[in-house]
A and B are shown apart, each in its own frame.
Chain A
Amino acid sequence: MPVISFEHVSKVYPLPAGDVVALDAVDIAIEAGEFILVMGPSGSGKSTLLNIMGSLDVPTSGEVTIAGNRISGMDDDDLTLLRRDHIGFVFQQFNLIPLLSVVENVEYPLILKARQNGSRERAEEVLEAVGIAETHFSHKPGELSGGQQQRVAIARALANDPDFLLCDEPTGNLDSKTGTAIMDLLDRMNREEGKTVVMVTHDPRMTEYADRTIRLVDGRVA
């Protein structure tokens, strides 16, 4: 069974100037362990696709199944718990919580799920796995470089051992050398840990990492 399956999924934004069709009858099935790239011109619906895969957004029509859960009829809490327990997000802007130290950022989703402290060890383990040195654990995110922040963000996404990672242009804010290092990290997580990765990118060089590329044009799979 696929980890993510889209059947005839459409997303329409009703605007005064007329409806915007961000996704148009999309059919996708992503199997466990795949490394998928999503490419396409700006405004083609890549982020919309990823948001629906991440249960941050719901489709206007069509059927979405995430980690075995049909999301139609789910309420906000159900969708939130789906994100917490099955999905890891990595953003272009890193989006770490500035109030929390590096290790606390990674610990946060663990505490959210386990409802207790004492997840420090697991957080440190994941941070080491993504290549963050222990000396940085107690730093605030702002004290790290962009590449380091993105590694911490990946560690946070991996903390609860999700079924898949959703990455929206994770290298978009990084220079190409750092970007390559992040790609290598995601690739390693995919091959060694068997993590399913779905990644939006504009960079054609990334295709060498991917099992498959989904191309979107005007909200349709090309």
Chain B
Amino acid sequence: MTFFDLARRNVSRHWLRSVLAVIGIVIGVIAIATLGIMGNSIGLMFGDMVTDVGDTLVVSPATGVGGGKLTERQVDDITRAVGSNLVIPFASTADKISVGEKEGGAMLYAIPAGDMPSLLEVESGAYPRDTGAGCLIGSQLAANGRENGLKLGARVRIGDETLRVVGVLEERGMGFDINPDYAIVVPYSWYSSHYDEDGYDQVIVKVRDVNDLDAVKESIEQRMNRREDVVTVMDTRGILESVFAATDSITVFLMGIGAVSLIVAGVSILNVMLMSVTERIKEIGVLRSIGTRRSEVMRMFIYEALFLGLAGAVIGGALSFCAGYVVTAVFVGNADYLFDPTSLLYIVFGMAFGVITSVASGLYPAWKAAQLNPIQALRHE
């Protein structure tokens, strides 16, 4: 029989009241943990979707300059500016395509045939040559177009010309440079003559050593933007960082919503504890008169709050796991994210928050109990 025992017995003496207070904490813990897991899973999902392009710079024409295209000369300038690093210019457009009788629209990427191997992986088939009329199709386009005949070896009509699919690309995921999964990739020479177009939309610079990224970016900007802003250089690593920062703030926002529900739970704990103190004024007087110190009275009541908090945290933690499963499976579409350590951490976090909230809510009532004058408390009926 200790203070902890006394606290436990008091909690179970008013079990209905205790259960209601615990339910509040349970809901708070679930809200924090689940919303945290959801935000975190969104971040993980982005991370999975975005291919590793940390070593890439994307150079685009500055807005309103030269009709939004980069000329061959500018590309040469960029090539000189970046030294031995790889420069891949490309153009993109959307056009109507037809395969046999079926018609549809598709995104076209035009890349110099020689640069394709350093940017794209072919899953089956081969890379097209600059001189031929071959093209590559993205993995998703291939998967979706199979029953329409869009597959390796198929003939794709664009305008009045026909291209043969010589290769199917590996899935590449969402990138900040190009997104070829749903697109057709054609040699730039074919694109240039077919559309009578000799500019590029963007230039991808693959930097060999990631540590040089800033220096290379600097070098391009210095060379190209001497008099006025001709190009803008996007640092994909920087963009990635800002996307992750955005998902982090989504997570914080979602958890903030959870925290509000926990505050409500804290108020109900405060209420229950104040009731408990008021009902036991006489008992507190007796305990004090037979030699219980203020700090010990305080401890007894804090244990009571701790008890409610622990119960809420354990039950809430278990339910958070279930709720987290539902949320990741339904909203994010992949329950695996729940089992990521960073996600599970939010359950621990929610539980810790539940316990801390309870104890914090118990502090004032406990302090009030400890401050009671023993004589007045003894006289209380």
Binding site for B on A (CB under 8 A): 51, 54, 56-57, 76-77, 80-81, 83-85, 89, 91, 95-100, 104, 107-109, 111-113, 117, 156-157, 160
Contacts and interface: CB of A to CB of B under 8 A. Distances in A.
A95 B374 contact: no
Interface of B: 1-2, 6, 9-10, 13, 282-283, 286-296, 374-375, 378
A89 B287 CA distance: 11
B288 A95 contact: no
Contact of A95 (B286, B292, B296): B286
B290 A89 contact: yes
24 contacts: A56-B289, A76-B293, A77-B293, A77-B294, A81-B293, A84-B290, A84-B292, A91-B286, A95-B286, A95-B289, A95-B378, A96-B286, A98-B283, A99-B9, A100-B1, A100-B9, A107-B1, A108-B1, A111-B2, A112-B296, A117-B1, A117-B2, A156-B290, A157-B290
Contacts of B291: 80-81, 83-85, 109, 112-113, 160
A77 to B, nearest CB: 6
B289 A99 contact: no
B293 A111 contact: no
Interface centre among A81, A85, A99, A156 (most CB of B within 10 A): A99
A81 B294 CA distance: 11
A83 B375 contact: no
6 pairs of A and B residues whose beta carbons are closest in the complex: A84-B291, A95-B286, A83-B291, A99-B9, A80-B293, A104-B1
A108 B1 CA distance: 8
A96 B9 CA distance: 15
Given A83-B291, A95-B289, A97-B283, 11 more contacts: A56-B288, A56-B378, A80-B292, A80-B293, A81-B291, A83-B290, A100-B1, A100-B6, A107-B1, A109-B290, A157-B290
A54 B285 CA distance: 13
Given A57-B375, A113-B291, A99 B13 contact: yes
Interface centre among B291, B293, B294 (most CB of A within 10 A): B291
B10 A99 contact: yes
B293 A108 contact: no
Nearest to A87: B291
Contact of B375 (A51, A81, A112, A113): A51
A117 B290 CA distance: 18
A180 B282 CA distance: 27
B17 to A, nearest CB: 15
A68 to B, nearest CB: 17
Contacts, number: 65
Given A99-B9, A104-B1, A54 B289 contact: yes
Nearest to A160: B291
A112 B1 contact: no
A99 B283 CA distance: 10
Contacts of B295: 77
B286 to A, nearest CB: 4
A76 B294 contact: yes
Contacts of B378: 56, 91, 95
B297 to A, nearest CB: 10
Nearest to A115: B2
Contacts of A95: 282, 286, 289, 378
B289 A89 contact: yes
Nearest to A116: B2
B1 A111 contact: yes
Given A99-B6, A112-B292, A56 B287 contact: no
Contacts of A112: 290-292, 296
B289 A108 contact: no
Contacts of B288: 56, 80
A179 to B, nearest CB: 21
Contacts of B2: 111, 117
A80 B289 CA distance: 7
A83 B10 contact: no
A42 to B, nearest CB: 15
A105 B13 CA distance: 17
Contacts of A56: 288-289, 374-375, 378
A157 B375 CA distance: 17
A108 B289 CA distance: 12
A186 B2 CA distance: 29
Contacts of A113: 291
Nearest to B297: A80
Interface centre among B2, B9, B282, B374 (most CB of A within 10 A): B374
B375 A108 contact: no
A100 B288 CA distance: 16
A81 B2 CA distance: 18
B293 to A, nearest CB: 5
Nearest to B294: A76
A112 B296 CA distance: 9
A88 to B, nearest CB: 8
Contacts of B292: 80, 84, 112
A173 to B, nearest CB: 14
Nearest to B1: A104
A96 B375 CA distance: 16
A58 to B, nearest CB: 11
